[in-house]
Amino acid sequence: MRYIDLIFALDLLYRYYPKYQSNEMIMLAEDILKWVNNELPEDSSTLIYLKSCFNSPYEAFSAVWKEIWVIAGSLSSLRMN
């Protein structure tokens, strides 16, 4: 898994996936990206939740990675055309 692959998958979903913004898995992935980029304050409920579920951002990425690619995989042929 690479960070750039996750960004690619999220971009693909943003462009082609209906109701992209309402998918909980996508919102979780975006929160994890904010965690990696230190965009969440230490006292934010989002960061507290993420730290209660995952030991590290890498573990969190691994947990959602397969789920995102299941969704994005079927759309990848659209990007190639």
CB proximity list for 10: less than 8 A, separation 6 or greater:
26, 29, 30, 33, 68
For the chain, percent of residues with pLDDT exceeding 90: 30
Tens of pLDDT, residue by residue over 16-51, are 776 666 577 778 888 998 999 999 999 999 999 999
Residue 9 has pLDDT above 80, yes or no: no
**Average pLDDT rounded to a whole number, residues 64-79:** 70
Q: What pLDDT does 41 receive?
A: 93
Domains identified in the chain, total number:
1
Domain span holding position 44: 3-80
Q: What pLDDT does 68 receive?
A: 75
